[in-house]
């Protein structure tokens, strides 16, 4: 039952936002009483924390699986983007914004975990790209991985990039192109063009 609650809550939170969804709506969607949910989660904040942890673990596992496929680094970045978009439903309700505003402690903890995982993933991607000649060999790995993370967080700021003007998928494509053009060799740019045609 706990897994079912997490799954249903995740769907509702992603579609409608963390603040907007009530415990009544979750119970109704599950066809159970609120008491059943409270058996597993003391309150909504505890449920939100568990759902974000669950989403983080699911996405991290998926990214690890993609990295094990040994694609070229640019193809890998776009495959990860497609996987994340599928799982986060194009973030139509801006869940990150609501999480940051209404559950700042959960947001801060999640952001730190995302940073730790992404640092390793991005630095490995950069090293691999340099090795096979897709990225320039004079890039600063630490700086590039941090600026990449900062940009990824930044494009989810709905005050800067209103959802009425940009879909998350469009923003991600623009950002990945921006990132890769800054570090790619001529060979890397050819691979980037190929990936951009696939969306």
pLDDT of 133 reads 98
- Local structure of residue 42 (DSSP, 8 states): S
pLDDT of 167 reads 85
Give the mean model confidence (pLDDT) for residues 18-44.
95
3-state helix, strand, coil in the chain (%, to 5): 75, 0, 25
Domain boundaries, the chain: 45-198
Question: Which residues are CB-neighbours of 67 under 8 A, at least 6 positions away?
Answer: 76, 121, 124
Residue pLDDT, tens place only, 36-94:
999 999 999 999 999 999 999 999 999 999 999 999 999 999 999 999 888 876 555 57
pLDDT of 16 reads 87
CA distance 186 to 85: 28
- Local structure of residue 163 (DSSP, 8 states): T
Task: Give the residue with greater pLDDT, 148 vs 170.
Answer: 148
Inform me whether the pLDDT recorded for 153 exceeds 80: yes
> Any idea which of 52-61, 109-118, 133-142, 161-170 has the lowest mean pLDDT?
161-170
Choosing among 2.60.40.10, 3.30.413.10, 3.40.190.10, 1.10.357.10, the CATH entry for 45-198 is 1.10.357.10
pLDDT of 92 reads 58
With a threshold of 0.85, does the pTM exceed it? Answer: yes
Distances in whole angstroms, Cα of residue 76 to Cα of each of 63, 91, 130: 9, 21, 14
Inform me whether the pLDDT recorded for 176 exceeds 90: yes
How confident is residue 123, by pLDDT bands cut at 50, 70 and 90? Answer: very high
Burial zone of 99 (CB within 10 Å; 0-12 exposed, 13-18 middle, 19+ buried): buried
How confident is residue 199, by pLDDT bands cut at 50, 70 and 90? Answer: low
Average pLDDT score, the chain: 93
Structural contact between residues 91 and 166, judged by C-beta atoms closer than 8 angstroms: no
């Amino acid at each position: 039952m706990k897994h079912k609650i997490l799954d249903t809550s995740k769907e509702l939170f992603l579609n409608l936002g963390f603040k907007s969804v009530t415990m009544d709506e979750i119970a109704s969607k599950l066809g159970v009483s609120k008491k059943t949910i409270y058996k597993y989660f003391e309150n909504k904040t505890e449920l939100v924390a568990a759902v974000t942890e669950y989403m983080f673990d699911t996405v991290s596992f998926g990214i690890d699986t993609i990295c094990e496929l040994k694609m070229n680094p640019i193809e890998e970045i776009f495959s990860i983007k497609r996987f994340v978009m599928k799982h986060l439903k194009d973030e139509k309700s801006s869940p990150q914004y609501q999480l940051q505003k209404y559950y700042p402690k959960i947001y801060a903890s999640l952001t730190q975990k995302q940073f730790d995982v992404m640092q390793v993933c991005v630095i490995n991607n950069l090293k691999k790209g340099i090795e096979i000649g897709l990225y320039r060999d004079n890039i600063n790995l630490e700086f590039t991985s941090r600026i990449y993370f900062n940009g990824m967080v930044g494009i989810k700021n709905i005050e800067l990039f209103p959802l009425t003007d940009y879909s998350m998928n469009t923003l991600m494509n623009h950002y990945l192109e921006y990132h890769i053009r800054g570090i790619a060799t001529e060979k890397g740019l050819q691979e980037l063009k190929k990936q951009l045609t696939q969306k």
